[in-house]
Amino acid sequence: MNDDVSTIFISVGEPSGDIHAAKLVLSLKNLSPNIKFIGNGGDKMIEAGVNVINHVNSMSVMGFIEVVKHLPKLLNILNDTVSAIKLSKPDKIILVDYPGFNLRLVKKIKDLNIPITYFILPQTWAWKENRNNFMKETILEFISIFPFEAEWYNSKGLKTYYPGHPFNEVTYDSKNRNGFFKKHNLDKEKPLLILLPGSRQQEIENHWPIFLKTTFLIINKIPSTQFLVVKSNNVKIKNIPAFIKVETSTVAALNYGTAAISSSGTVTLECALAKLPTIVCYKTSYTSWMLFKFFSKTDYISIVNLIAKKKILPELVQGEMTPLKLFNNIIPYLHASSKERRKTIDNYKELKLKLGPAGVFNRAARRILYGPIDEK
């Protein structure tokens, strides 16, 4: 182990990164209990013992227009982060996802000659491939959580390690099924549709009105359908009818749902691992969408379809994301014996094999502290 590492700065900018970074910090502490951690992050990182100087609640924005609106605040946070790094003089820096911010941070600190590890990589395989040369020159090591991504990065000359995917650490079971349904006053014999409108406020504002209209269409077709929305603590959802129950735990909701309608994001992979048939959707501003369409080089928006390298889940994006189209696509998933439902669940089995065994954070931590040895 590298005994010279006494302080690590870790840069996170959104809730999902906070969760993964916290687990990585705990694994690093198991290897070297005396390491001090400082950085940008959220509540999970604070619980893991990180001295958080900028909270993700003030940093989590997505989309070109949305970033422009918040640019002055984000630039202040960026400058504050640079100052904190210079003051704390860390032995290593770990960047987690959030490339728009983190790569700008690298530009400002590259002359400090502090080794940088990037964990959960920028999706340059989708767009902005021109970033690769800069990253190759300034970042010491790359750790990917997607097998196809690691292959792509390595093919471009950026040596990338794949320890597996963090979601394989999660256990999905039905031990508390009765308690869950009782807690929400639900009937466990009736279908339960899980609504996942997003983890950012702007996603809620774009998606929730469409989700809501879809629920009324479903009720008219299958009156026995029950609904539960997963709400992150960092967002507000207005106009939730009494018939839609609210849950904060994604894992609990996915454990007991029949099917899901989900905003595109890593949660769709959680749905797959929980064997929950899901419709993937996303809507953003017109400008952000046109920019994405212009620069994007991928056939899918869902990480599930990208990993599988084929269309496992239906995708309804932008103008295609309408209540009627969501309704038409979700109805087969609510019938236990439908061929669409069976086919999707069968495809999930193949997907899980690609994500590697448990122990992802321990392997990533060993890589960061030891280097490319003892990675099994």
The CA distance from 276 to 338, in Å, is 14
Q: State the DSSP string of 211-272.
A: HHHHHHHHHHH-TT-EEEEE--TT-------TTEEEES-HHHHHHH-SEEEEESSTHHHHHH
Rounded CA-CA distance 208/192 in Å is 18
Q: Do residues 248 and 232 lie in contact, with contact meaning Cβ atoms separated by under 8 Å?
A: yes
Report pLDDT digits (tens) over 158-191. Answer: 999 999 998 887 777 667 889 999 999 999 999 9
Structural domains for the chain: 7-164+356-370 (3.40.50.2000), 177-353 (3.40.50.2000)
Q: What is the pLDDT of residue 301?
A: 86
Strand order in the sheet with 192-196: 244-247, 226-230, 192-196, 259-263, 278-282, 315-317
Query: What share of residues in the chain are helix, strand, coil (percent, to 5)?
Result: 50, 15, 35
pLDDT means per 10 residues in the chain (376 residues)?
A: 82 91 97 97 97 88 58 87 97 95 96 97 85 95 94 95 88 80 95 95 94 98 97 90 95 94 93 96 78 68 91 95 98 95 94 88 96 64
pLDDT digits (tens, 9 = 90+) for 110-159: 999 999 999 999 988 877 788 999 999 999 999 999 999 999 999 999 99
Please, which residues bridge with residue 38 across strands? 9, 51
> What is the pLDDT at residue 63?
54
Is 251 in contact with 322 (CB distance < 8 Å)?
no
pTM score of the predicted model: 0.76
Q: What is the pLDDT of residue 210?
A: 98
- The answer to whether 84 and 11 are in contact (CB under 8 A) is no
